[in-house]
Amino acid sequence: MSPTAHRSVNPLSPKERIKVPRQLMPEQPADERAQNFTEVNLGYSAELAQQEALRCLECAKPTCTDNCPVGVKVKEFVEKIVIGDFLGAAAKIREDNVLPAVTGRVCPQEDHCEGKCLLSKKVKPLGIGYLERFVADYEQRMGTHILPDVKSTGKKVAVVGSGPSGLTVAGDLIQKGHKVHVFEALHELGGVLVYGIPEFRLPKQIIRQQIDYMREMGVEFETDVVVGRTVTIDELTEEEGYDAVYVGTGAGLPQFMNIQGEHLNGVYSANEFLTRINLMKAYKFPMYDEPMIDLHGKDVAVIGGGNTALDAIRSALRLGARKAYVIYRRSDAEMPARAEEVHHARQEGIDFQMLTAPVEFLSDGKGWLTAARCVRMELGEPDASGRRRPMQKQGSEFDLPLSVAIIAIGTSANPIIQSTTPGLGTNKRGYIQANEETQRTTRKGVFAGGDIVTGSATVILAMGAGRRAARSINEYLTTGDW
Amino acid sequence: MFKIIHAAYLAPGIRRFVIEAPRIARKQKPGQFVILRIYEEGERIPVTIENSDPERGTINIVVQAAGKTTHLLNLLGSGDSILDVVGPLGKPSEIAKYGTVVVVGGGVGTAMAYPTAVALKKAGNRVLSIVGARNKGLVILEPEMRAVSDALMITTDDGSYADKGFVTDKLRQLIENGTRIDLVIAVGPIVMMRAVAELTRKENIHTVVSLNPIMIDGTGMCGGCRVMIDGKSEFACVDGPEFDAHKVDFAVLVQRNGIYRDAEQRALAEFERGKAQDDEHACVANAVVRQGDLR
């Protein structure tokens, strides 16, 4: 792939572009931010954004776009940044991505667009995530956006779950002229974006603005509805007149390790821990009513190495934990968390206990956690996941004193929809079966995507599924073919 | 917002609300519950559904003032609204023709046991009910329970009404009298459910209890409501709330329900101090709740 011959707005030659260093993201100093919930990354200024945008090589076949689960036209939006048309850049992103302010913050770009950036063969990749975030924030600051002009088709779609995949489906389908109604089980909209991802990584205000924007476009939202319990999918299609249903209910039930002491007071699932903080604001007790264990001066550990694990332990640190550990049974190389989060966590003073696993939680005899009994691991042959299998080192047992342990080892399928929707096929792990390209389930008119199909993954992969589903739903509603 | 159509005390501290919630009213089955939140800074708490009227689109919930939220809730009356009501949650009671079923309701748990008793009766069972309370004033739903039961026994801890003693005394009598019992369903305080379980375990009588652990979302997402059933973790909100009483680890339930006791007592004390300071507490608190900024 070579830089294109088309008339570029970029004044620099390809050689000059490579020489421009990747612009650093301004961030809150680590010692300060470890004490607050304000965002870690502060965002590019217009100058930094334009400087960074100049680095784009404008490949003829942009691999960044090919590797984006929602297919954002990176080259085209970056070009608009170069000429200072930031609103135009935002509109260009929105053609493919209804949540740019979210993905600009939480997407693992190193696995997608930036991972395939041609620049990265020689220097650091283009800061695509940072640029995306800049234009999305710019658009929100300006408070102006162009509402797409669409003609109503008269078709109605129910979207179950207001997380990243549901919002993507809603945003895409409303622009095709379908009526869209989103059902949410919780009292707040946004799914994992509000209950799971903490303020310092994704401010709630950002999600609210994105949802307000969708409301303006005509999407209807209804909270406090647990589809499967409050209303079934059959009732939505047969009685409430929905022509199609998209199920994007998310990952589901937190997994536990089934080791001794997991029921002790002080052992949380990451979902519960983060929900208490993010959704219920329990750390503001008694201003807010939902309580949580006071972490000030306490030793806290998270078990797991994903983004959720890091979100949980970095939250614990901000809530006054004296020691904050990540206990992960494999090594750095296998950690699924985003590289930037791991880097930030280390800067903040999180203690990473790698190749370590708890085998038992110990109690004070009154039901409260006092320590995790751990063993050290070493890596053997690759397992089914392709990662080297961790094996226990003989005689490596030690006790790590802890007041709070947070289990972040993944989730299993939530059974509510599957068990209340006859004919909806599931796989052997209980997740909903859906075609990988069309997101169609075994039930006519019912589509599914995101974690309820794949098991826990990322925001952007859920959004990718949402995009494919929206295309497929539109096709179904237009042709009637299944 | 969910509008309160009617509210009245069933007993001191125990209040029944009729709430406009058409979706829930259509779907509610015996054994299920709702989660509610009364204002923006409020916590989410599970609450019993006593009954529902699908035609009118209303549900009845019964609440006993125990902590800050339930005390605040009980200050609300008809015309007020509850910010969030979600449900019906949990698996419904398994209704079948078992033969003779003993339905045990302890305190406010009677409100949860009532719809199950109705359904069991309708399914052709002989329903023997035992209702227990601390004292006369706290006996609730007596006429309703009487109407659906082939026999109703009442006990009070202090003997101020009916027979002095505990529900287990009555259950033991039934067993000792040679009554054939095919199923026992017990809903009430943990100590009561545990005592029932211990009694029936010896007799090998299938027994079901409805558990009330700490809960946030009620859809299985948070795992806070995990209970130990037969040595394994289960979630009361999606796998329960009803479980085989003989498999429940009640000690773990008691321990986990105590996690936030200090915070709960502090919140309640602050609430009561604030209330005492105000002559017109009820109406002021109401007004503040409506504005959603009560601290």
pLDDT tens digit string along B38-48? 999 999 999 99
Coil, helix or strand for A440?
strand
Of A169, A184, A462, which is closest to residue A307 (Cα–Cα)?
Answer: A462
Cross-chain Cβ contact A414/B238 below 8 Å: yes
Residue B241 has pLDDT above 90, yes or no: yes
Q: Could you give the percent of chain B with pLDDT greater than 70? A: 94
Residue A251 has pLDDT above 90, yes or no: no
| Mean pLDDT, residues B96-118 taken together | 96
Cross-chain Cβ contact A265/B220 below 8 Å: no
- C-alpha to C-alpha distance for B257 and B252, rounded to whole angstroms: 8
Residue B282 has pLDDT above 70, yes or no: no
Nearest residue, CB atoms, B256 vs list A250, A263, A291: A263
Place of tokens 């038992």: A360
| Angle formed by the axes of helices A204-217 and A164-174, nearest 10° | 30
Q: Which residues pair with A166 in a beta bridge?
A: none
Cross-chain Cβ contact B42/A287 below 8 Å: no
Nearest residue, CB atoms, A288 vs list B41, B89, B270: B41
Cross-chain Cβ contact B41/A281 below 8 Å: yes
Average confidence score pLDDT of chain A: 94
- C-alpha to C-alpha distance for A345 and A342, rounded to whole angstroms: 5
pLDDT at B280: 53
* pLDDT band (50, 70, 90) for residue B275: confident
| Mean pLDDT, residues A137-157 taken together | 86
H-state helical runs in B149-210: 167-176, 190-203
List of chain B residues whose C-beta atoms are within 8 Å of the C-beta of residue A415: 220, 238
Residue B124 has pLDDT above 90, yes or no: yes
Task: Tokens for A321, please give them.
Answer: 């934990």
Residue B175 has pLDDT above 90, yes or no: yes
* Burial call A81-105: b when 16+ CB within 10 Å, e when fewer: bbeebbebbbbbbbbbbbbbbbbbb
pLDDT tens digits for range A68-94? 999 999 999 999 999 999 999 999 999
* pLDDT band (50, 70, 90) for residue A164: very high
Residue of B nearest to A251 (CA): B221
| A148 near B CB under 8 A | no
Coil, helix or strand for B292?
coil
pLDDT at B47: 94
List of chain A residues whose C-beta atoms are within 8 Å of the C-beta of residue B69: 289
Cross-chain Cβ contact A367/B295 below 8 Å: no
- C-alpha to C-alpha distance for B171 and B149, rounded to whole angstroms: 15
Place of tokens 């983060």: A274
Q: Which of residues 379-438 of A touch B (CB under 8 A)?
A: 414-416
Nearest residue, CB atoms, A256 vs list B233, B264, B267: B233
Cross-chain Cβ contact A416/B88 below 8 Å: no
Q: How far is CA A246 from CA A392, A469, A476, B115, in A?
A: 43, 8, 12, 34
What is the pairing mode between strands A244-247 and A446-448?
parallel
| B220 near A CB under 8 A | yes
A213 contacts: CB under 8 Å, gap ≥ 6: A145
List of chain A residues whose C-beta atoms are within 8 Å of the C-beta of residue B266: 286
Q: Could you give the percent of chain B with pLDDT greater than 90? A: 87
| A269 near B CB under 8 A | yes
Q: Which residues pair with B58 in a beta bridge?
A: B20, B53
pLDDT at B290: 46
| B264 near A CB under 8 A | yes
Place of tokens 């949580």: A292
pLDDT tens digits for range A316-369? 999 999 999 999 999 998 999 988 899 999 999 999 999 999 999 999 999 999
Q: Which residues pair with B75 in a beta bridge?
A: none
pLDDT tens digits for range A364-414? 999 999 999 999 999 988 888 888 889 999 999 999 999 999 999 999 999
Nearest residue, CB atoms, B24 vs list A230, A254, A263: A230
Cross-chain Cβ contact B264/A291 below 8 Å: yes
Residue B226 has pLDDT above 60, yes or no: yes
Distance from CA of B144 to the nearest CA of A (A): 27
Q: How far is residue B124 CA from its own chain's centroid?
A: 24
Q: Which residues pair with A179 in a beta bridge?
A: A156
pLDDT tens digits for range A175-232? 999 999 999 999 999 999 999 999 999 999 999 998 998 999 899 999 999 999 999 9
Residue of A nearest to B91 (CA): A229
| B238 near A CB under 8 A | yes
| A240 near B CB under 8 A | no
pLDDT tens digits for range B23-77? 999 999 999 999 999 999 999 999 999 999 999 999 999 999 999 999 999 999 9
H-state helical runs in A73-177: 74-82, 86-94, 100-106, 128-142, 164-174
Asked if A208 and A247 count as a contact pair (C-beta separation under 8 A), the reply is no
Residue A106 has pLDDT above 80, yes or no: yes
Cross-chain Cβ contact B27/A229 below 8 Å: yes
Distance from CA of A403 to the nearest CA of B (A): 13
| A257 near B CB under 8 A | no
CA dihedral A58→A61→A64→A66, nearest 10 degrees, is: 160
Residue A478 has pLDDT above 50, yes or no: yes
Distance from CA of B5 to the nearest CA of A (A): 19
| A276 near B CB under 8 A | yes
* pLDDT band (50, 70, 90) for residue B293: very low
| B218 near A CB under 8 A | yes
- C-alpha to C-alpha distance for A436 and A287, rounded to whole angstroms: 46
| A181 near B CB under 8 A | no
DSSP assignment of B224-260, as one string? Answer: TTEEEETTEEEEHHHH-SEEEGGGB-HHHHHHHHTTT
Residue A282 has pLDDT above 70, yes or no: yes
Of B30, B32, B31, B10, which is closest to residue B85 (Cα–Cα)?
Answer: B32
* pLDDT band (50, 70, 90) for residue A148: confident
| Mean pLDDT, residues B107-132 taken together | 97
What is the pairing mode between strands B2-11 and B81-82?
antiparallel
DSSP assignment of A127-147, as one string? Answer: -HHHHHHHHHHHHHHHT--PP
* pLDDT band (50, 70, 90) for residue B295: very low
Of B176, B186, B110, which is closest to residue B148 (Cα–Cα)?
Answer: B110
* pLDDT band (50, 70, 90) for residue A307: very high
pLDDT at A284: 86
| Mean pLDDT, residues A16-45 taken together | 94
